[in-house]
């Protein structure tokens, strides 16, 4: 449990189960929380039989790029994980100060709070992680403003979110953003990387995986189907890059067509104040 008292700007909270609670949570604590939830493995070590393997693999590549940008330091980093869930990325920062925020008690959150109104002082965090969360926030501008407020100058932001994706997290599923909207949201900062998860051909096979997952859940009998579809999606991803022509109208339209139907996006932003 992180010691966050000195970084709070609001003292209007209560303590329960070692959590700082600033709002009424969206749920009640169910049973004992899992000690090693599968979500951690799926985010850090995606496997070919995962239905979302291609998307997660793409996001992990961007995450690795972000980790390489972290400068060498003699003091621990301060890391904020918004909508942290089971805090799958915490193992990457074993010696740093890691704080998870969520609105659900059924999470590993240190702080139960609303991302639209974070309880922290200004200019605190070196890294902010907001993964598969922004689509669940009904005021993206306020979220970004709060992130920028609590972030230090030159802080790194790692953000992932779906674009073509089923409704999930019901009833808290509000938005889908294009790459152009993401660029607009961070127009005052430095966008280091903005990557689509896959091209239009790969989406065909990822869609099949998602449909099967929705209809039948996480049954292992579908793993061979997921593997085949993931391999086909990866193959078509490579073919799309191999067939690229960099000149002329046809090349320009080809690039538009390939990028027009991604499952999601991953990005790295360096905050500029």
Looking at the domain assignment, is residue 222 inside a domain?
A: no
Looking at the domain assignment, is residue 207 inside a domain?
A: no
Cβ proximity of 162 and 135 under 8 Å: yes
For the four alpha carbons of 170, 144, 262 and 83, in that order, the dihedral sign comes to negative
Q: Which domain holds residue 143?
A: 5-199+263-270
pLDDT number for residue 248: 61
Give percent of the chain above pLDDT 90.
79
pLDDT digits (tens, 9 = 90+) for 41-58: 999 999 999 999 999 999
Looking at the domain assignment, is residue 44 inside a domain?
A: yes
Looking at the domain assignment, is residue 253 inside a domain?
A: no
pLDDT number for residue 2: 59
Span 153-166, mean pLDDT? Answer: 97
Looking at the domain assignment, is residue 206 inside a domain?
A: no
Residue 11 has pLDDT above 60, yes or no: yes
pLDDT digits (tens, 9 = 90+) for 204-250: 999 999 999 999 998 999 999 999 999 999 999 887 776 655 666 66
Looking at the domain assignment, is residue 244 inside a domain?
A: no
Please give the Cα distance from 273 to 149 (Å, whole number). 9
Q: What strand order describes the sheet that includes 78-82?
A: 14-16, 19-21, 111-112, 97-102, 78-82, 125-131, 151-162, 264-270, 190-196
Q: Are strands 264-270 and 151-162 parallel, antiparallel or unpaired?
A: antiparallel
Q: Measure the CA angle with vertex 190, ends 184 and 196; round to 5°.
A: 65
Looking at the domain assignment, is residue 210 inside a domain?
A: no
CA end-to-end span of the chain: 30
Residue keyed to tokens 């030159």? 154
Span 91-103, mean pLDDT? Answer: 95
Q: Measure the CA angle with vertex 41, ends 28 and 71; round to 5°.
A: 100
pLDDT number for residue 16: 86
pLDDT number for residue 214: 96
Confidence of residue 73 (pLDDT cuts 50, 70, 90): confident
Looking at the domain assignment, is residue 161 inside a domain?
A: yes
Domain with 44 in it: what CATH number? Answer: 3.40.50.150
Counting the structural domains of the chain, the total is 1
């Amino acid at each position: 449990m992180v010691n966050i008292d000195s970084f709070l700007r609001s003292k209007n909270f209560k303590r329960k189960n070692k959590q700082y609670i600033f709002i009424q949570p969206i749920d009640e604590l169910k049973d004992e929380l899992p000690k090693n939830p599968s979500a951690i493995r799926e985010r850090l070590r995606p496997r070919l039989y995962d239905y979302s393997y291609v998307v997660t693999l793409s996001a992990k590549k961007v995450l690795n790029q972000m980790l390489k940008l972290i400068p060498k330091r003699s003091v621990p980093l301060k890391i904020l994980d918004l909508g942290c869930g089971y805090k799958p990325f915490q193992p990457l920062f074993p010696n740093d100060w890691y704080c998870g925020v969520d609105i659900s008690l059924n999470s590993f959150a240190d702080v139960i709070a609303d991302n639209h109104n974070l309880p922290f002082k200004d200019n605190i965090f070196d890294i902010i992680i907001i993964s598969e969360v922004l689509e669940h926030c009904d005021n993206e501008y306020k979220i970004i403003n709060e992130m920028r407020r609590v972030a230090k100058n030159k802080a790194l932001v790692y953000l992932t979110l779906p674009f073509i994706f089923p409704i999930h997290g019901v009833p808290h599923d509000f938005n889908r953003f294009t790459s152009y909207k993401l660029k607009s949201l961070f127009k005052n900062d430095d966008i280091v990387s903005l990557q689509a998860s896959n091209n239009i051909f790969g989406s065909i096979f990822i869609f099949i995986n998602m449909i099967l997952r929705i209809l039948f859940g996480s049954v292992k009998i579908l793993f061979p189907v997921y593997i085949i579809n993931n391999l086909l999606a990866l193959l078509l991803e490579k073919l799309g890059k191999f067939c690229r022509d960099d000149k002329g109208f046809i090349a320009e339209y080809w690039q538009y067509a390939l990028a027009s139907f991604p499952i999601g996006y991953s990005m790295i932003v360096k905050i500029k104040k």
